[in-house]
Amino acid sequence: MVFSCVYPGCFSKAKPLRLRSKKSRGDSPVKFHTFPVNDPECLKLWLIAIRWDVNTPKEKLYRRVLCSEHFSSEDYRERQKKTVKYLKPSAVPAMMFQPNEVYIQV
């Protein structure tokens, strides 16, 4: 299954690990992050950032992802390997508001 970033207007796609070539498995410039369904406050901020209804059921968020293009470099922390970065638990996607904001019910 190919995952697509759900940010409005974003067309980034991610193939599952088993479908990626061995060379590109760790070198992808775009990373994909699942919704923080176990942190209600953070989840609400993510939903607001992508202009979705804050009452969207958790079941509709599983297997949905946002790509790293919507996070700043300050939203990541490095681990032991300098090349591997992880999204901080407090990270929230950058909000890009349009003049006609619409909250989408999924």
**Tens-digit pLDDT profile for residues 80-93:** 766 677 899 889 99
- Kindly give the residue spans of alpha helices, DSSP state H, lying in the chain: 40-49
Alpha-carbon distances of 30 from 4, 27, 41, 44, 98, rounded to whole Å: 12, 9, 25, 24, 24
pLDDT at 99 over 50: no
Q: What is the mean pLDDT of residues 7-23?
A: 71
Delimit the domains of the chain by residue range. Answer: 3-87
pTM of the model: 0.73
Q: What is the pLDDT of residues 20-77, one digit of tens each?
A: 555 544 555 788 999 999 999 999 999 999 999 999 999 999 889 999 999 988 998 8
When comparing pLDDT for 16 and 26, which is higher? Answer: 16
pLDDT at 20: 55
